[in-house]
Amino acid sequence: MSAGAASGQSDGAARRTVQRDVLCPFCGLGCDDLEVEVQGRAVRALRACAEAARLLARADEPPPPCRVEGRPVPFEAAVAAAAGHLSASRAIAFAGLGADMEGLGGLYDLAMAAGASLDHAASGGLFANLDRLARKGWIAATLAEVANRCDLMVVLGPDPTAAFPRFFERALPAPSAVASDAAAPMFVDRTRRRRVAVLGGTLSAAGRRALAPHDVAEIALDGATLPAAASALALALKGGTLGQAGLPGEIAAALSELAGLLAQSRYAVFTWDAARLAPADAALVAEAAAEAVAAASRTTRAAVFPLGGRDNVVGAHQLALWRFGWPLRTQVGPGGARHAPDLYATRAALADADLLLHASALRPDAPPAFARGPVIALGHAQTVFPREPDVFIPVGTPGVDHAGHVFRMDQVVCLPLAGLRPAALASLAEAARAIRAALGGTP
């Protein structure tokens, strides 16, 4: 089992086990060193970040039943009701899409059978980055490359710690003089502190703690100045003068100093969380980071490491590319696929849709507001709905109730999840397959 070793002891009514090396599916960093206690149906994290602990926690209680129009029904009746709504609709939007690869495969099959647009709840940052990536490409690093090679990290924008709690710990392991320390970096001097420049946001207390082993410089900027400052830094690396950028003198001086350090670095990494920037700013920051890397790469090594990956959005994107030849925000159906990001981003799609199918297996996220037609929710058992969906089918959580796979945020590793406790709910893949069979497609 990929959840590593499990040890157990009898604690009276239910056997207690402690599972080690558990893989976390939530934020996209793919931490695989969690420790989790399972007793009966109760799950409690013993070693995890606060976000993972919150999302892994389960009480020892039975799962909720399926509901149709608020009334408990058997799974088969909910499936039949969902299929009936899908058959009667002409403009269907699939949203949420927080799922493992198997669940996404089932949803995409169902979308092709029913005809639907597809978008993930966390795709905003992804599309801001695709704006640059699709036009000119960039040089990107993997998480392992960052950890083992980066000697200067430039953080553009808000502290990543809020959305990716262990990012700094994973990307910049603390220096270590202990030769047997497996976490210490491989290709930089393992005893040296690394440099980190934070351009824009103020570090949180957690971010400061995580970066305490390194030399950190913060260049304070308001959010509106970030794109111009990032562009100015790229300009300086290309040999331009910062005086042309129209920035305040102290910021220009700090950027000039940083450009000098970048020129001397052996492997610089630029990172940012596009989802936490305004969409237009995010695209500009991504562009500036990629240009800075291209300029620095003429004389040294540098790479971008775009942050993102919540609820397997990377897997949803990859699977859409493989299956349809287009990224998310694509309409699929028996007639083929049509990619139109302006039309099929969730908010735009819902403005025209007559049915919303919301899928969220990894966390109890409620569907987006929608009043133009029925709502089908294939969701986390603990979801609280502001508006009762027409059909609710509670599904298991990958990595808690059943096995599955999710992509890490750097897109190079598809990670196996193991179930922690006996499944009592259908997986999202099973629910989607059952609805598709009820529609008359191949199960």
**Residue with smaller CB distance to ligand SF4, 23 or 79:** 23
Write the single-letter amino acid at 424: A
Q: Which residues pair with 216 in a beta bridge?
A: 196
Q: Are 284 and 230 in contact (CB under 8 A)?
A: yes
CB of 31: closest distance to ligand SF4 in angstroms? 3
Query: For the chain, how many residues are written?
Result: 443
For the CA atoms of the chain, what is the radius of gyration? 23
CB of 169: closest distance to ligand SF4 in angstroms? 8
CB of 321: closest distance to ligand SF4 in angstroms? 23
**Residue with smaller CB distance to ligand SF4, 221 or 418:** 418
**Residue with smaller CB distance to ligand SF4, 141 or 143:** 143
CB of 122: closest distance to ligand SF4 in angstroms? 13
CB of 355: closest distance to ligand SF4 in angstroms? 32
Please give the Cα distance from 264 to 268 (Å, whole number): 9
> Which stretches within 265-324 are classed as H helix?
279-296, 313-324
**Residue with smaller CB distance to ligand SF4, 27 or 288:** 27
**Residue with smaller CB distance to ligand SF4, 31 or 275:** 31
Copy the structure tokens of residue 248: 């305040």
CB of 82: closest distance to ligand SF4 in angstroms? 30
Residues whose CB falls within 8 Å of the CB of residue 54, separated by 6 or more in sequence, listed in order: none
Please give the Cα distance from 377 to 389 (Å, whole number): 6
Q: Are 404 and 100 in contact (CB under 8 A)?
A: yes
**Residue with smaller CB distance to ligand SF4, 53 or 337:** 53
Q: Which residues pair with 95 in a beta bridge?
A: 358
**Residue with smaller CB distance to ligand SF4, 35 or 354:** 35
Phi and psi at 121, nearest 5°, equal -60, -25
What 3-state DSSP class applies to 11?
coil
Residues that bind ligand SF4 (CB under 6 A): 24, 26-27, 29-31, 48-49, 51-52, 164-166
CB of 98: closest distance to ligand SF4 in angstroms? 13
Please give the Cα distance from 372 to 382 (Å, whole number): 25
**Residue with smaller CB distance to ligand SF4, 32 or 354:** 32
**Look-up of token digits 């609710």:** 392
Q: How many CB atoms lie within 10 A of CB 389?
A: 25
Please give the Cα distance from 263 to 298 (Å, whole number): 10
CB of 408: closest distance to ligand SF4 in angstroms? 9
Q: Are 352 and 91 in contact (CB under 8 A)?
A: yes
**Residue with smaller CB distance to ligand SF4, 48 or 417:** 48
User: What burial letters (b/e) apply to 22-46, b meaning 16+ CB within 10 Å?
Assistant: bbbbbbbbbbbebebebbbbebbbe
Q: Are 370 and 376 in contact (CB under 8 A)?
A: no
CB of 28: closest distance to ligand SF4 in angstroms? 7
**Residue with smaller CB distance to ligand SF4, 179 or 205:** 205
CB of 33: closest distance to ligand SF4 in angstroms? 8
Please give the Cα distance from 154 to 141 (Å, whole number): 13
